[in-house]
Amino acid sequence: VETQIRARGVRDPRVLAAMAKVPRHLFVPEDLRARAYADEPLPIGEGQTISQPYIVAYMTEALGLKGGERVLEIGTGSGYQAAVLAELAARVYTVEVIPELSAASENLLSGRLGYRNVHFRVGRGQEGWPEFAPYDRILLTAAPAVFPASLFAQLNEGGMALAPVGAGEQRLVRFRKQDGIIRSDELIGVIFVPLV
Ligand code: SAH
């Protein structure tokens, strides 16, 4: 947290505390545990990856969570980002297309770690999770070529969506919904697996 995250400019004390609290080593395969806190993404099986710690912290800070939000995450993966979000928001709804990854994450978060505010769904993230919409924040952790516009309908007024966007080069793009209008700005360059 000090050398990889705080030193690079992430300052929100709640984000730093959440990053210090969530046991990242439980989210990576056992044979990679020694590298769990290294400054790099790691494979989590099924051809997918858990993001570099700094990127998780950066995106979480960019969401500006105050504690009362309902958050939709697309791309559950290992469940690590979902756990960090669960520390900082009221409820997390997370959608994953690979059933095995969703099930393993649910076991870890709802079972071993005891999170009661994270809800899991297997499905295509492009469809979101209409049943529990609208969300105050929507976070994609897999990259579409173009942001799926249908998700904007599930975003609350005054809400924010954050996503890696791009087919080749990707940028992290922040979308804000104000008076029904979506405005976007680009943050940093990133590398995520594609949204399929
Ligand atoms: N947030 C994760 C890392 C995400 S890796 C973590 O903290 O570990 C990206 C994930 O998005 C992968 O698990 C991949 O299977 C999933 N994914 C890819 N396309 C998807 C889609 N269309 N809908 C839902 N999930 C998708």
Distance CA 55, CA 34 (A): 19
3-state secondary structure of 182: strand
Q: What is the structure's pLDDT at 68?
A: 98
Q: What is the structure's pLDDT at 135?
A: 98
> Which residue has the least CA distance to atom 20 on ligand 1?
195
**Best residue among 100, 102, 151, 195 to mutate for probing ligand 1, ranked by most atoms within 8 Å of CB:** 195
Q: What is the structure's pLDDT at 180?
A: 92
With cut-offs at 50, 70 and 90, classify the pLDDT of residue 109.
Answer: very high
Mark whether 51 is an active-site residue: yes
Q: What is the structure's pLDDT at 112?
A: 97
Determine whether the shortest distance from the Cβ of 59 to ligand 1 is under 6 A.
no
Determine whether the shortest distance from the Cβ of 22 to ligand 1 is under 6 A.
no
- pLDDT tens readout for residues 39-55: 999 999 999 999 999 99
3-state class percentages of the chain: helix first, strand second, coil last, to nearest 5: 35, 30, 35
The percentage of residues in the chain with a pLDDT greater than 70, rounded to a whole number, is: 100
Please give the distance, rounded to the nearest whole angstrom, from the Cα atom of residue 78 to the centre of ligand 1: 9
Q: What is the structure's pLDDT at 42?
A: 97
Quick one: average pLDDT of 108-133? 98
Determine whether the shortest distance from the Cβ of 195 to ligand 1 is under 6 A.
yes
Q: What is the structure's pLDDT at 57?
A: 98
> Which residue has the least CA distance to atom 10 on ligand 1?
75
Q: What is the structure's pLDDT at 70?
A: 98
Quick one: average pLDDT of 127-155? 97
* Token representation of residue 156: 């609350």
**Best residue among 141, 172, 190 to mutate for probing ligand 1, ranked by most atoms within 8 Å of CB:** 141
- pLDDT tens readout for residues 3-44: 999 999 999 999 999 999 999 999 999 999 999 999 999 999
Q: DSSP string spanning 49-61?
A: EEPPHHHHHHHHH
Q: Which residues pair with 172 in a beta bridge?
A: 164
The model's pTM is: 0.98
